[in-house]
Each structure stands twice: as C-alpha cells, then as structure tokens.
Amino acid sequence: MAAPAEFLQYIDDKADAFIQRLADAVAIPSISGDAKHRQDVFKMADWLDAQLKAVGVETKLVDLGKHVMDGEELPLPPAILGKIGNDPSKKTVLIYGHFDVQPADKSDGWETDPFTLVIKEDGRLVGRGSSDDKGPILGWLNVLQYHHETGKPLPVNLKMCFEGMEESGSEGLDDLVQRESKPGGWFEGVDCVCISDNYWLNTRTPALTYGLRGLTYFKVTVSGPGRDLHSGVFGRTVHEPMTDLIHLMSKLVDTQGNIMIPGVDEMVPPADEQERAIYQSLDYSIADVEEAAGNKIAISSNKVEVLMGRMRNPSLSLHGIEGAFSGAGAKTVIPAKVSGKFSIRLVPPQTPEKVDPLVIAYLKQEFAKLNSKNELIIENLHGGKPWVADVNHWNFEAAKRATKAVYKQDPDLTREGGSIPVTLTFAESLGVNVLLLPMGRGDDGAHSTNEKLDRSNFIQGSKLLGTYLYEIGQVKA
C-alpha cells in the first residue's frame, strides 16, 4: 500500500505541534564533547525514551560504561534500543539516529541563543541540532505518532538504535551493535537499515546517500616550560611550544587541500571517466558550495573536482589549538603547553589502521627536524572507517519511489563528506543494505553557527520517512 493520504494530511495538520516538540529537543544542550554537558546528554536520552514510549515503542536503555575525555573519566550516555511490531509477514527496518549535538555558544557568532529554536519568517528553524540530528529523529517520532494515535498498523516492523556519542566517536556503540546483531539479539531479523543523519547536496534536490567518509582524529601536544612564561623575559631564550606546534601543523596540508603526509593521498586510486561522469551528472554548481560556505572561496572552479574533493577524496582539516592565548587584548605570554587538533576524512581503501601509522611517523619525523627540546605527545582521539553501499538494492529503490512520491522529483545519488562511524558496523554485523535518507539541505550549517532546518524539510521529510516505510512494506520477500 502507498502511504495513505490521511497520513500525509496528518503530518501537515500537526506541523506546529511537531515544531514545538523540536524546540523542546533543541532546548536540551546535549553536547557529547563537553564534559560540563554530559548530564544534558543523559537528560536528552530520558526525554527521547519517554517520547518513544508515548508512541508505543518498547525501549531498552543500554549502559555503555565509562570513558576518558580530556583526562576526565565520564559515564557514557545510554544507547536507546527500540522495537515496534513483530509481524513475520512484514520486512523489519532498523533506524538509527543520534541525540547528541556539536558544541554551540552565542559567542561563536550565533545570531540567537543556539538552544532556543527560533522560527524565522522564511521558514528556517534555527537551533543547534535542528538538522543534525534532532530534526530527523523527530521525523521518525512524527511518523510513529500518526500510527499510534490512529491505531493504524505500521507497514513494517521497526527496530531502533539511538545514541548520544556520535559527535564524539560513537564510543561503546560498535560492541553493542555487534552483540545485538547475533542470533537472539535486539537486531535479529533486521532486513535493511535506514539512517537519516546527513544533508542534500544542494538546497533544491532531495538525495539518497550511498557513501560516507571515514575519519581519524588527532591531538598533538607540545610542552616544555614548567609554566606559562613572559615573552619579554623568555622570548628567544627557550624553545616555545606554540612555535613548534605551528611548524608541525603547517606541514600537514597545503593551501590547495593536498595532504602533505606521504602515502595518504597516494593510497586512493584516481577516478576514471565513468566515475567522473557520475559527479558531472549531479545537480550541483560552484554557486551551491559557495552559498553553503557563506563566501566565494571554493578551491576549484571545476564542479567535478569540488564534488570529488567532498565525496571521494580524503581531506585534512585543522580544527584548533587548545591552551593557546585566545582572549581579547594583547597578552604577552608564551603558553607552556599547547595541543593542536586535526582530523583526516578517509575514503576507500583507507582505514584508520592504514593511515594512523603514516601520520604518527611523519609527525615524529617533522618534529625531529625542529631540533627542539620540547616534548611531543601524539594522541588519536577517535576514528571510523569509510562506507559505500549498493545503490541497486531494493532498499534504495524503495527510497527512490518514496522521494518521487513526496517531492515529485528523482533524488540525487550522493556520497557524504561527513562520517557516521557506526554505518559500516551495521552493514558488516547485520550483512544487510544500509541507506542514508537525508532530511536537511546542503546549507543547513550543521556543526556551524546558526544551524537550521527548513520547516518544509522537517514536514516533507517526515512524510518522506513514512512514505519510505510504506514503500518498503510493498517490497516482495
């Protein structure tokens, strides 16, 4: 059965209430990467658990233990497993999402408080997590609410896995997924997986995503002085950690995006003409990337090169320096200890296991060239492998039909530049097809200031998630 008109109408009728629920979710600052907010991630887990129960989902909160972040031992937020329906004649779909968010502070340049959802006149719903990934999770809740309130059966059996550590390396989740994928586990019987946690390529064409880049994240600490020093007293007298660190960080990537660590870029075979034609065919222009970036700063004016830079080539980004003077004024300090943070997005055949040794050896070699008496410590904070799926699978076919039904257009088939480390774990542990079905647009500003989800993407996206389930329900065994 196609998605009932009554379902589509219900989503429209409830739009304001759904947006209010999104505002409630955004108001919980569930920042997994900030120890001060760890209790908020727990609060968010409880909030989501209650919402799921209220729409008829059987849930189980799984304790994932503890971990160490920035030298502090912290409890990991629970994963939420859910299930609804157990009809052997129906397909079983596993959905995944994350209820943690990236850090956000008004002082970063937000126009409004990041944790107060602001409804703009043009339809933008602005707030941290609106697009990544609270909006999509609530899209699933909206679908479930219709079925719960009307008593209409779902077209599929649903299993769920929601986590609160995705933005900080998905700690503890791989083990849980592997465990629950075994016979008798929570995920037994799953036929396919759907993840709504990425974005369209542009602002106008819905997308289905069949690839994600992997990630390896490093923290490089240089220390020497016993304490912060006066630059007038110690300048040109001692080895300065910040000087060493800036030298090291300048050796990682050039200004055109080429990775300078020998062997890393070289690991990836070049694209042939057939593959380039795929990128050429996508609805994308340099104006799209510049609009999403907020300025005319694309590295290349060639669309295919830009798309390959995002989707099928590795990239190295410098993220920040901890411990450096960053306040107002002109403090003349020599910081005693500074830590540079950078990450590399990985593509097949790269994995953290293959790339990390190259990075570590290179950093040590470059540091040795500095003839510094300071100390270097290299830490790997987290990582994940890249993933690519088969787009000819019935899971993708169902999503294509659903997209056409809701948006009246064919979706772009994209590879995402970001990472969702558990995706490959689902694919490998369950041995089933995984699909990424994004809700938001390419200019949503995930991880950035003024993150937003357009009202129409939230509402049409909720319809899309439901329609996709109805299309799966029609797939013959």
Q: How far is CA 116 from CA 23, 106, 119, 127, 361, in A?
A: 7, 11, 10, 6, 45
Which of 133, 171, 240, 443 binds Zn ion (CB under 5 A)? It is 133
Residue nearest ligand L7UNP4BN, Cβ-based: 418
Contact flag: residue 100 with ligand L7UNP4BN (CB under 6 A): no
Q: Does 288 contact ligand L7UNP4BN by CB under 6 A?
A: no
Binding partner of 419, given ligand L7UNP4BN, Zn ion, none, CB within 5-8 angstroms per partner class: ligand L7UNP4BN
- The distance in angstroms from the start CA to the end CA of the chain is 15
| Rounded Cα gap, residues 404 and 57, in angstroms | 29
What track of x and - describes contact with Zn ion for positions 78 through 117 (by CB under 5 A)? ----------------------------------------
Q: Which stretch binds ligand L7UNP4BN (CB under 6 A): 1-9, 68-76, 148-156, 418-426?
A: 418-426
| Residue 166 is among the residues annotated as catalytic for this protein | yes
**Token pair of 372, please?**
């510094």
100 is a catalytic site residue: yes
Task: Write out the two tokens for 422.
Answer: 């558990």
Q: How far is the CB of 240 from ligand L7UNP4BN (least distance, A)?
A: 30
Radius of gyration of the chain (CA): 23
Residue 143 CB, nearest approach to ligand L7UNP4BN (Å) = 20
CB of 342 to Zn ion, least distance (A): 17
Identity of the residue, 372 or 450, whose beta carbon is nearer to ligand L7UNP4BN in the bound complex? 450
Q: Which residues of 187-211 are buried (b: 16+ CB within 10 A; e: fewer)?
A: bebbbbbbbbbbbbbbbebbbbbbb
Of positions 92, 198, 374, 460, contacts ligand L7UNP4BN by CB under 6 A: 198
CA angle 100, 82, 396 (to 5 degrees): 80
Options 30, 419, 429, 462; binder of ligand L7UNP4BN; rule CB under 6 A: 419
Residue nearer to ligand L7UNP4BN on the CB measure, 242 or 420: 420
> Binding partner of residue 130 among ligand L7UNP4BN, Zn ion, none, CB under 5 to 8 Å per kind?
none
Determine which one of 100, 244, 366, 416 is catalytic.
100
Site string for ligand L7UNP4BN, 153-192 (x = CB under 6 A): -------------xx-x-----------------------
CA-closest candidate to residue 299, choices 289, 312, 313: 289
Is 447 annotated as contributing to ligand binding?
Answer: yes
Alpha-carbon distance 135 to 459, whole Å?
10
- Cα–Cα distance for residue pair 248/341, rounded to 1 Å: 11
For position 457 contacting ligand L7UNP4BN by CB under 6 A, the verdict is: no
Q: Which does 215 bind (CB under 5 to 8 A by kind): ligand L7UNP4BN, Zn ion, none?
A: ligand L7UNP4BN
Residue 69: HSE in the Cβ half-sphere, 13 Å Cα cutoff: 20
Instruction: Write the CA distances from 128 to 62, 176, 181, integer angstroms.
Output: 25, 27, 32
CA–CA dist 220, 377 (Å, integer): 6
Q: Give, in degrees to the nearest 5, the angle at Cα 386 between 384 and 388.
A: 145
Q: Please give the Cα distance from 72 to 168 (Å, whole number).
A: 14
Up-side HSE of residue 468: CA atoms within 13 Å toward CB?
33
Residue 96 near residue 162 (C-beta atoms within 8 A)? yes
Helices (H) and strands (E) in the chain, counts: 14, 20
CB of 476 to ligand L7UNP4BN, least distance (A): 32
Return binding residues for substrate.
197, 230, 332, 345, 419, 447
> Residue numbers of the site for Zn ion (CB under 5 A)?
132-133, 197
Return binding residues.
98, 132, 167, 197, 230, 332, 345, 419, 447
Catalytic residue annotation: 100, 166
> Residue numbers of the site for ligand L7UNP4BN (CB under 6 A)?
132-133, 166-167, 169, 197-198, 215, 416, 418-420, 446
